[in-house]
Amino acid sequence: APTIGILAVQGDVREHVYAVEDAGARALTVRRPTELEAVDALIVPGGESTTMDKLVRAFDLYAPLRSRLDHGMPAYGSCAGMIMLADRIADARPDQQTLGGIDMTVRRNAFGRQVDSFEEDLHIRAIGGTPMRAVFIRAPWVEEVGDGVDVLARVEDGPAAGRIVAVRQGSLVATSFHPEVTGDHRFHQLFVEIVRGNA
Ligand code: GLN
């Protein structure tokens, strides 16, 4: 089974560890460059992207992470992790950087204060069966994507209908929502299949 690292400087690491193991892969928390060397792929969890960005630098992980991504390591980012994997942030704070990798612009906290957090059933391309329950917590949305990016899901109801909330570019995937918190681990299974080279 592949070993999937969970970036463990900040955020909901434990939920991803459980989801990865349930999806049939080995999980390893990654806090040091040597741990990063030991994994086949990486998940960047939900949390707070400005803090995560600072801690990645403080833990001397920025350059090794960039290097692994440049060499094709598969990665999956949920929520703050989606922001970390975005090439661009709309109206970014001057001091916030991302790892990048996916040719997209994300907007942080995009759904606004009125709808800080919400849940919706979503149809996700590449995942069969019933729609997936998607939990959004101060989530970003994807404002625009480059030609090489596949849109996997959009919001289906309400004022934000049509907004992009799941994407794939090669072996990089990202979701605005948190599939690690619902017990439905089909998105993690998809990622494991991507890591195995089967999807
Ligand atoms: N609002 C957070 C950010 O901008 C993301 C929230 C989350 O990961 N649940 O980083």
Quote ipTM for the complex.
Answer: 0.95
State how far the Cα of 75 lies from the Cα of 181, in Å rounded to an integer.
18
Instruction: Return the percentage of the chain with pLDDT > 90, whole number.
Output: 93
Please report the pLDDT score of residue 114 as a whole number. Answer: 61
34-59 tens-digit pLDDT: 999 999 999 999 999 999 999 999 99
**Which H, E and C letters describe 51-68, residue by residue?**
HHHHHHHHCCCHHHHHHH
Class of the domain covering 3-196 = alpha beta
Query: From ligand 1's centre to the CA of 47, what distance in Å?
Result: 5
Report residue 80's pLDDT band, with 50, 70 and 90 as the boundaries.
very high
Q: Residue with the nearest Cα to atom 5 of ligand 1? A: 80
Instruction: Please provide residue 54's backbone torsions phi and psi, each rounded to the nearest 5 degrees.
Output: -65, -40
CA dihedral 48, 53, 55, 58 (to 10 degrees): -170
Q: Around Cβ 108, how many Cβ atoms within 10 Å?
A: 22
Directed axis angle between helix 62-70 and helix 49-58, to 10°?
100
Of 15, 16, 79, 185, the catalytic one is 79
86-124 tens-digit pLDDT: 999 999 989 999 999 999 999 999 998 766 899 999 999
Domain ranges across the chain: 3-196
**Ligand 1, pocket-test mutation among 83, 95, 115, most atoms within 8 A of CB:** 83
Is 180 assigned a catalytic role? yes
Q: What is the pTM of this model?
A: 0.97
Whether the CB of 137 sits within 6 Å of ligand 1: yes
State how far the Cα of 159 lies from the Cα of 145, in Å rounded to an integer.
20
